[in-house]
Amino acid sequence: MADKADRDARGRVVAAATDGACSGNPGPGGWGALLRFEDGSVEEFGGSDPATTNNRMELQAALAVLERLKELPRHPDLRLRTDSKYLIDGLGSWMAGWKRKGWKTAAGKPVLNQDLWQALDRARLPDVPLAYVKGHSGDPDNDRVDQIAVAFSRGERPVLGASGSAPAAGASAPSALEEAPAPASLQRLLSRLELADRLAQGGYGLTAVELAQLVEQPLARLQDRDGPWRWRDWWVEPLEEGRRWRLQRAEAGSEQN
């Protein structure tokens, strides 16, 4: 009952991201994942494997998120964001052919990572499409899951965002890194501020879900706003009757009319 109450309080999942990492490829690997909820809360989890590949860690991360999402209410705009074209192409293009050929490639060889592909095929959710995001491009959620995956691949135990319920099977519980260069919360904030600057300079428009992810505010709160408002060093301006938003760098001491 308590778990259900926590889920209800957090609202729907509005964003999801995964990443995998491996040292040596093959070698020790790790994966990381996060979910964002309408109330602004974040759930992070991850795991490791002492002998694996980067591709297997990418698939394991996606599998863990999909299995977790089955238990949670999901926003209709939810996408599972990943920098793995291997994952996207496998689920979106290659799998149908593999299955027709009895899980063989066009060359007649057994499909690599077949166990994880078959598990992903069973776990996929029709309402949660995959979306590609370029790795190491300043995207805050991609950067964060990369940090989690790399830490696990190195045998470290990263500090993970609080979850409202038990993490996915195989995930590791939170525990502090002994010599972290900076608190995880500060690292995430710096990444978000850098991204905000790039968005403002480029004049890009953001959906309400993307803006909620950036400013870490509940989606419902953003949908209630009908005019410009200030977030840290930027003005947030509504476009298209509030369906999209744009950031504009605020001058020191300025107030918008």
Active site residues: 19-20, 58, 83, 136, 146
Separation of alpha carbons 188 and 77, rounded Å: 23
Separation of alpha carbons 24 and 28, rounded Å: 7
DSSP letter for 74, please.
B
Helices (H), 41-181: 54-69, 85-89, 95-100, 114-123, 140-153
205-207 and 229-231 strand pairing: unpaired
Closest by Cα among 250, 239, 248 to 207 = 239
Instruction: Estimate the crossing angle of helix 184-202 against helix 208-215, to 10 degrees.
Output: 140
Tell me phi and psi for residue 151, to 5 degrees. -60, -45
Residue written as tokens 């149908």?
Answer: 96
Range list of β-strands (E), the chain:
13-22, 27-37, 42-52, 80-82, 130-132, 205-207, 229-231, 234-239, 244-249
